[in-house]
Amino acid sequence: MEILYLCPDNDLADLFFRGWKNAFEALGHSVTRRVATTPGLGRWLSNHPVDLIFTHSGEGVQALEPKQLNQKKIKLIVGALPANSFRASFDPHTPLAPEGELEIMAQVDQCVVWSQHEPFLFPFFYQAYLEREIPLVYLPYAADLTQLQPLQFQEKPPLDFLFIGKLSHRKRGNLALLDQLLPQLETGRVQIYGDELWSQRYPAYVQKTDGGFSHEVGFCRTAISPNLHSHRQKKRMIQVNNRTFDIPLYGGFQLTDHPLSAKFFGPEEICIGSTKELFMEQFFFYLTRPELRKQQIEAARERLCLDHSYFNRLATLFEVLGVNEPIYYQQKLIRPTLFECDPDQFNPPGHPFTWAIEHRSFEFLRRVRGLSGR
């Protein structure tokens, strides 16, 4: 297939583009990247063979003409943003889908949208897609198996603690933990790459990127790579982040604070410290037990290969689009991953219904409870 990938030119878009691109190309497809705001997209589509367009909400849908896509029988895959009559989103970092996007998607004959947020949230936050009967698929983040290398485990790695990311997004609920944990570690064995808040609060540990830094290498040379989530992600059980899959992919030992991670990995594949006390206990327990760290990394990588790669996610999208094309990678058949776990299994008491009551959203409560008759 000829794939057109529409996305802006920035680091975050580059991160996810690489994963999808590598998966498509490993399957023998050709990928062309364009910025949707570049003039003449319709003319370009008229002059080039395209079988599938992959984009994200707010990054290219509004530049598309449904009639043109239907005439050329182009399939459309869109990473969705919330859209609902309440104009409600999860947090300030997740905007709503731009006005008019859903009308375009609804007119495309072969269209599927997906979200990495938990499915029990769909009837409320993604209500508008369901009302327009736009196929909506649950796709968690994934690992880029084309980057999987033989494990290079070090019993005595040079670092004890490595974190890459913004503290401002996850300061609520994590500062007390970090204030207690970091002073107990040797300064030279801690590396943090992040925003200004890290520099202000923990200046002794923050590193400056020099262009040669690679988190792919960093994870495998670190004893423990904490995976800290935002307060909303944990309290509302919204999602796990992409580090959940990237850390084991690159040979790192992951200690996460998000109980939802148990949906994707078994107890022998991931370490979860959902409270400050448990996180601290787990950190120092595994810090001195390299053999247990190695076992977990190996098990987590096996799980990635089986269930949590971009190939698994593509298999799901192809199935919904009716693409009758089995996905093989390294001579192994890749199937869509089924997520049959009951969300209540991972929710703290009162969630998500307490949230609905707190926000006076009785409609959300009715739909999640299955009382709407739909």
Confidence of residue 39 (pLDDT cuts 50, 70, 90): confident
Number of structural domains (the chain) is 3
Residue 342, in any domain of the structure: no
Query: Is 324 found in the same domain as 204?
Result: no
Enter the pTM of the model: 0.89
Query: Is 118 found in the same domain as 208?
Result: no
Query: Is 179 found in the same domain as 77?
Result: no
Output the CA angle 146-57-324, nearest 5 degrees.
50
Query: Is 280 found in the same domain as 175?
Result: yes
Query: Is 329 found in the same domain as 369?
Result: no
Residue 343, in any domain of the structure: no
Peptide bond into 157 cis (omega under 30): no
pLDDT over threshold 70, residue 360: no
pLDDT attached to residue 183: 97
Query: Is 166 found in the same domain as 135?
Result: no
Query: Is 153 found in the same domain as 290?
Result: yes
Residue 344, in any domain of the structure: no
Higher pLDDT, 91 or 105: 105
The domain of 362 spans: 349-374
Question: CB atoms < 10 A from the CB of 131, how many?
Answer: 13
Query: Is 295 found in the same domain as 150?
Result: yes
Residue 340, in any domain of the structure: no
CATH number, domain containing residue 71: 3.40.50.2300
Query: Is 272 found in the same domain as 224?
Result: yes
CA distances from 313 to 138, 143, 305, 339 (A): 9, 10, 12, 12
Residue 128, in any domain of the structure: yes
Q: Torsion-angle region of residue 328: left (phi > 0), alpha (psi -120 to 50) or beta?
A: beta
Residue 339, in any domain of the structure: no
Query: Is 230 found in the same domain as 138?
Result: no
pLDDT attached to residue 340: 56
CATH number, domain containing residue 262: 3.40.50.2000
Query: Is 131 found in the same domain as 91?
Result: yes
Average pLDDT, the chain: 89
Lowest mean pLDDT of 32-41, 105-114, 267-276, name the range: 32-41
Query: Is 224 found in the same domain as 238?
Result: yes
